[in-house]
Structure 1
């Protein structure tokens, strides 16, 4: 299980939040599924300058630990249409 407050990477796109595979977020909590489905986690997403831009809940399978063989990159956040 991933530790709280560690940075993680998304393993899937979240178009409803304008987030993409590989985006980095901070794991801030775990939540139980209300009908015994997959456990979830709450993530806080920051922009490149450290401002909080979103808090989202996703299934645990949508996140993974960062690895030493990965590098961080930046991209523009797509505007809401």
Structure 2
């Protein structure tokens, strides 16, 4: 389980939020599913200079913990 306030990687595209697989977000809360389905994660997404640009809810399976052998990169939101 990922701890609150940890940075994670999104493992699929969310075009409705201009987010792509591999984008980084911060886990800010966990929302239990009301009918014993998959829990939701509330994520805050920041731009490259640290400004908050989205707060979204995604299924738990849509995120992956960051690993020490990964490197961050930058892309433009206009690329979506």
TM above 0.5, one fold?
A: yes
Q: CA deviation at 1:32?
A: 1.3
CA distance in structure 2 between the partners assigned to 1:15 and 1:78 by the alignment: 12
- The aligned counterpart of 1:55 is 55
Q: TM-score, normalised by structure 2?
A: 0.94
Shift of 1:52: 0.2
Query: Deviation digits for residues 43-77 of structure 1, max 9, x if unmatched?
Result: 00000000000000000000011011110000001
User: Matched residues in 2 for 1:58 and 1:78: separation?
Assistant: 22
Q: Give the length in aligned residue pairs.
A: 80
TM-score scaled by structure 1? 0.93
CA distance in 1, matches of 2:60, 2:46: 19
State the superposition RMSD in angstroms: 1.4
Ranges in structure 2 where 5+ consecutive residues have no aligned partner: none
Write out the 4+ residue segments of structure 1 that deviate beyond 6 Å after TM superposition: none
